[in-house]
A and B are shown apart, each in its own frame.
Chain A
Amino acid sequence: MKRGVERWFALVAIRIASLIMPGSLRVKWRREWAGEIWARSDEGRPVIWHALGAYRHSVWVSGDALVSLLRRSRGDVRYAIRTLRRRPLFTLTVVATLALGIGATTAVFSVVDKVLLAPLPYPGGERLVQVTATYTPRDIKQGGRTTTLEALEAYTVADRNLIGSGTPAVVQEGSVTSGFLSDLLDVSPLLGRTFTTRENEPGLGSVAILAESLWRERFGASVDVIGRTIRIDDQPREIIGVLPEVAILPLVDVWTPADLSLDWARTRTRFGSLTTLARARAGVDLEAVRQDLATVSEGAGSEFGSTVEPWRAEVFDYRSLLVGDVEANLWILMGAVVAVLLIACVNIANLLLARGVERTPELVLRSSLGASIGDLARQVFLEGAVLAGVGGLVGMGLAWVGLDVLMAWVPAEIPLGSTTGMDSRVLLFGFSVTVFTGVLFSVLPALRTGKLSIGRIRAQNASIGRHEKMRGAVLLGLEVAQATALLVAAILMVTTLLHKKDADSGFNPDGIIFVHLNMPTYDYGRGGFTDSALRDRFVEELKPRIVALPGVESVGVGTATPFTGMTFMTALQQEGGPRVGSSNGGLGVASEGDLIWFAQLWVDAQYLATLGLPIVSGRPFRDSDRGGSPVVLINETAAAAFWPGESALGWRVRSGADGSWTTIVGVVRDFEHPGIPTAGQAEIYSPLDATPQLVTLLVRFDGEADVIRQQIQRAIWAIDPDLPIPAVRTAREVLAASLGMTEFYTLLLGLFAGLAILLTSVGIYGVMAYSVARRTREMGIRIALGADQTRLTAVVLREAMGVVGTGLIIGLLMARVGSRIMESLLFEVEPTDPFTYGIVALVVSVTSVAAVWFPARRATKANLLDVLRAD
């Protein structure tokens, strides 16, 4: 019994092992092994281990069979190459179509892969989490010793003034804890070293590491840079290294060690700019980390005693945070490019099928000479495989070149976009796509050949079978449907972009320049609104100089512009209690208890007039408001949300129960712009009584922007030659930059849709030209019998347009369903916009008629002589 069971298991194992073998060898092989197993078992000896030997043998046999097949195919491949070289136009069309499809797909995949799929380029990159807590990493580490995190570091970024190496400049400083670059990210410096733990101690970290870009731009990539001293704000720092770009913080120009005193951390944390990154241990999920940190925070609370508030840590998957809503949009692009690839495949399959019919006489000849149906099918398949191989190679070359172009278009808002490049994963993808497409368009023609019997091949006459006609029509219809859907998506995006560009922003963006100044504390006194005498004096001196410049009409001063960097939020108490109902909870409008939230700006009396943002009701600020009775302005959104159904004028707000009341004296027009996320929030404007460290000058001018820009810079440096001036940009430039993402998606979708339409037209033309050529006999007879040429053209057109029309309708339905996914990308255009659908229907129809027209005309020129020649 026991022996029987063992034998049964061994026999089952052999049966499984035989599955990988070619069918022609399988039965014999299985029988031999079963015979031996059975005989050995009868002798009462163990057999189960022999099953392992059977596996090894089956792999060997399969490999051997494959090698033999490849050897046999070598001749076929050579024959396929010769055949294809004899038809250069056909070969070129197929290879170019395929190369475009594979190239575009591979290039887009390389972006999708780096941004969404590949692990972040750091050790355990897939386990990086962001921890938001009210304490520094040191507190978390010391307070409770986490069990789920293996590295925990933090960074913060801020704009600083770089002085002493050429013109003063504003640079982005990344302050990091000691292990951030070495332990967490494991970045190797190009030159020098990274920070030591000691350099993170308060007062000991007067060192800096340059980012590669800054090193090249300002220091000419000199290797002697190590040991030199630069001044970042007022602090001299010794350069100890140069670092390649850090993918997750690509804009950082200079790295400094973070001084981890509790004061530092609490100060930074209050402004919400300290980001703590951690690497979870392998096999630990987000929930476990959350629970672990909750335990740590309980312990930490008691350790710090009553001096600090209890804290709560929140944990997020870092990549999800980093990627945000880019994910869905990138998948839309990937979907679009795959659709183009499929259109390319369908095109090629159609061409190969058509060619298959055309080659019937050759196949007959080969079969007469002894080739089996299997040989012929293999030959047809190999031709497809050769085309796929060449197309794939050229396509990957195109992707390689195209990626550089694509990289120039990838907007900075796409996180990790700068890491995109060709690597083994992308190459593997390109190879897989090549194999997939090769199989896709080679199998149909090969099957068609395989299904033909020798008799049928020989009996086949020159006309197209009904079945074949149907198959061609289905493929063509599919192609038209996909191109239609893509075109709808592209036109919706183009409309979106145009609407965004033309959107009424509420103010006149022509002829405005923004000048952001960062007056350093070491030269101009402490930040905030205190100790502002030096800054006030600077601005008072600068304003008349700028106003005096030729072409300048007015100058306004404020803490920011409504759409750049207005991140200061303030909670105010509303006189007479909160009026916010649930119906008022629109975008950017929030209330909590008896507090209402505003985005806060401080502006001078000329600010709104210079910006051209009109006062809707009430009055603007006057110079007399400065230091006078406290007044504020609010925007339309705030007025509608917090004082629904009544005028907000005369009502008062205050910050907290002990703050003084300020009166609302005017309502300002909403600033709106689709590219700017802060648009549409409740805003409050207070008079600018004192100049803060960060201040924005608005300059309205009439003239050449570049000339004014240079004159403004000269005016600033005439007062303070050490004050760096970040980019002085016009409002138009700021608004245009905000549409970078939309432009990127529109450009690519437009490109893919154009490619799809082009390929589809080529496909329609190819199929129709072939179909008409096959019908020479029919056409000749019809004309000989007196048929009218125009009528014949109409017959051909009608047949083709039936297929195109069906494809068009299916495509429009596909677009109708698919456009919902795009809804978040669209602006002031419905996904079902009838105008778009109408335009697409028109474009597809006209293109298709043009593609059908020429072959149709040729058909009607047939005469009986042609028929006789064809036979």
Chain B
Amino acid sequence: MTARTRRMSPPTTAVLRAIVEGSSYGFDIMDATGLPSGTVYPILSRTEKRGFVVSRWEDTAVEREPGRPPRRYYTVTPAGSDALSVAVAHFRTLGEPIPSRS
């Protein structure tokens, strides 16, 4: 357990939880967490830099409307998963609600 994981904020916890629970795209995560895009995207960028999530571009083989760019989807890494467990445990210990949808 590092100092960094202990300091995970409720919105970051909510975002990681949303990804683990199956929301992969940025806007889906927004729907799942109820957080605005201006909050979700910086969290995604930050957690990706910290190695908690990785992103991939949508498969080019997927049939898309002409002109539509591919989407970027996110998955939680094992490190991210560990950090999330620690954060959830932390919120539980404190008796606070575990951040999911605000």
Residues of A within 8 A of B (CB): 31-32, 34-36, 38-40, 42, 50, 52-57, 60-61, 64
Contact = CB atoms under 8 A, between A and B. Distances in A.
B37 A53 contact: yes
Contacts of A32: 26, 71-72
Given A50-B27, A61-B45, A64-B45, A39 B71 contact: yes
Given A40-B27, A64-B45, A35 B38 contact: no
B68 interface: yes
A47 to B, nearest CB: 9
30 contacts: A31-B69, A31-B72, A32-B26, A35-B70, A36-B26, A36-B27, A36-B72, A38-B65, A38-B67, A38-B68, A39-B68, A40-B27, A42-B65, A50-B37, A53-B36, A53-B37, A53-B38, A53-B41, A54-B37, A54-B41, A56-B37, A57-B37, A57-B38, A57-B41, A57-B42, A57-B45, A60-B45, A61-B42, A61-B45, A64-B46
A61 to B, nearest CB: 6
A31 B41 CA distance: 14
Contacts of A61: 42, 45
Contacts of B72: 31-32, 35-36
Which one of B25, B37, B40, B68 has the highest number of Cβ atoms from chain A below 10 Å of its Cβ?
A: B37
A54 B45 CA distance: 13
Interface in B34-83: 36-42, 45-46, 58, 65, 67-72
B38 A34 contact: no
Report which residue of A32, A40, A42 has the largest number of chain B beta carbons within 10 angstroms of its beta carbon.
A32
Nearest to A34: B69
A52 B46 CA distance: 19
A826 B42 CA distance: 64
Contacts of B71: 32, 35-36, 39
A54 to B, nearest CB: 7
Nearest to B42: A60
A39 B37 contact: no
A650 B16 CA distance: 110
Contacts of A52: 37-38
Contacts of B70: 31, 35
Given A31-B69, A34-B69, A39 B25 contact: yes
B9 to A, nearest CB: 15
Nearest to A42: B65
B61 to A, nearest CB: 16
Interface residues of B, number: 20
Contacts of B27: 36, 39-40, 50
Contacts of A54: 37, 41
From B36, B41, B45, residue with most partner A Cβ within 10 Å: B41
A60 B38 CA distance: 9
The residue in A40, A42, A52 that gathers the most chain B C-beta atoms within 10 A of its C-beta is: A40
B102 to A, nearest CB: 15
Q: Which 7 A-B pairs have the closest CB atoms?
A: A53-B37, A56-B38, A35-B71, A57-B41, A53-B38, A35-B69, A60-B42
Nearest to A30: B69
Contacts of B58: 35
Given A38-B68, A50-B37, 18 more contacts: A31-B69, A34-B69, A35-B70, A35-B71, A36-B27, A36-B71, A36-B72, A39-B27, A39-B68, A42-B65, A42-B68, A53-B36, A53-B38, A53-B39, A55-B38, A57-B41, A57-B42, A61-B42
A64 to B, nearest CB: 7
A727 to B, nearest CB: 70
Q: Which of A31, A35, A64 has the most CB of B within 10 A?
A: A35
B42 to A, nearest CB: 4
Nearest to A40: B27
A703 to B, nearest CB: 86
Contacts of A40: 27
A711 to B, nearest CB: 85
Given A42-B65, A64-B45, A36 B25 contact: yes
A717 B40 CA distance: 89
A743 B70 CA distance: 73
B38 to A, nearest CB: 3
A59 to B, nearest CB: 9
Interface string B18-39: 0000000111000000001111
A54 B38 CA distance: 6
A38 B66 CA distance: 11
B41 to A, nearest CB: 4
Contacts of A31: 69-70, 72
Nearest to B46: A64
A69 to B, nearest CB: 14
Contacts of B67: 38
Contacts of B69: 31, 34-35, 38
Nearest to B58: A35
B97 to A, nearest CB: 25
Nearest to A39: B71
A52 B36 CA distance: 10
A49 to B, nearest CB: 9
A38 B26 CA distance: 12
A50 B25 CA distance: 14
A34 B42 CA distance: 16
A33 to B, nearest CB: 8
A82 to B, nearest CB: 30
A858 to B, nearest CB: 56
Contacts of B37: 50, 52-54, 56-57
Contacts of A50: 27, 37
Contacts of B41: 53-54, 56-57, 60
Nearest to B70: A35
A568 to B, nearest CB: 74
Contacts of A35: 58, 68-72
Nearest to A55: B38
B63 to A, nearest CB: 13
B49 to A, nearest CB: 8
A71 to B, nearest CB: 13
Contacts of B45: 57, 60-61, 64
Contacts of B25: 36, 39
A50 B70 CA distance: 18
Contacts of B42: 56-57, 60-61
Nearest to B41: A57
A57 B46 CA distance: 11
Nearest to A28: B72
B80 to A, nearest CB: 19
Contacts of B65: 38, 42
A64 B49 CA distance: 11
Nearest to A32: B72
A48 to B, nearest CB: 12
A36 B42 CA distance: 15
Contacts of A36: 25-27, 71-72
Nearest to A43: B27
Nearest to B71: A35
A813 B91 CA distance: 78
A119 B97 CA distance: 56
Nearest to B67: A38
B70 to A, nearest CB: 6
Nearest to B72: A32
A522 B58 CA distance: 101
Contacts of A55: 38
B68 to A, nearest CB: 4
Contacts of A38: 65, 67-69
A371 B76 CA distance: 35
B17 to A, nearest CB: 20
Contacts of B68: 35, 38-39, 42
A64 B48 CA distance: 13
Nearest to A53: B37
A648 B71 CA distance: 101
Nearest to B64: A38
A60 B49 CA distance: 14
Contacts of B46: 64
A50 B35 CA distance: 12
